[in-house]
Amino acid sequence: MRNITMITLLLFILSTAAIAHGQSGDKKNAKIEIEPSDGIEKCLKMNPDQVLDYSFEASKPLAFNLHYHLVGKTVFHVKKDLSERKEIFHPVKGQKVYCMEWKNPGPDSVTLDYRYSIKDK
């Protein structure tokens, strides 16, 4: 039983590391609850020759943004209150890390179902 637990943990670590490095073919599906006044941010490392294909659905509108950081400032590609979105995003030349962020401004918890994949152009 202990070996199965160790193997499962190792597979989780390896899959997480691959996503963090933005290799072509990376994909993720997740469904989570976001509590009131809380949020999540998912940052991805991408090469300029890749695209981010993402979509999400939420049970209520969330404050969503897709951004990247430059020295001293944050640059927003998208910044809206949305309950769903689907887009294929082409990275800015030279920029490497992009972040998708969802915040729950409402008084009730919200279910978020998001999907993304990083693909070569």
Q: What is the pLDDT of residues 91-118, one digit of tens each?
A: 888 778 999 999 999 999 999 999 999 9
Whether the CA torsion 64, 14, 119, 115 is positive or negative: it is negative
Using alpha carbons, select from 35, 32, 41, 28 the residue that is nearest to residue 111.
Answer: 32
**53-67 average pLDDT score:** 97
Full DSSP string of 42-60: EEEE--TTEEEEEEEEEEE
CB count within 10 Å of CB 66 equals: 19
Task: Report the pLDDT value the prediction gives residue 15, as an integer from 0 to 100.
Answer: 39
Superfamily name and number for 2-120: GOLD domain (2.60.120.680)
Taking CA atoms, 53 is separated from 3, 13, 19, 37, in Å, by: 36, 23, 14, 27
Q: What is the DSSP letter of 108?
A: S
Residues 6+ apart with CB under 8 A from 50: 22, 24, 91, 118, 119, 120, 121
Which pTM value belongs to this model?
0.75
Q: What is the mean pLDDT of residues 77-92?
A: 92
Give the count of beta carbons closer than 10 Å to the beta carbon of residue 64: 22
Tokens linked to 87: 């887009």
Domain limits of the chain?
Answer: 2-120
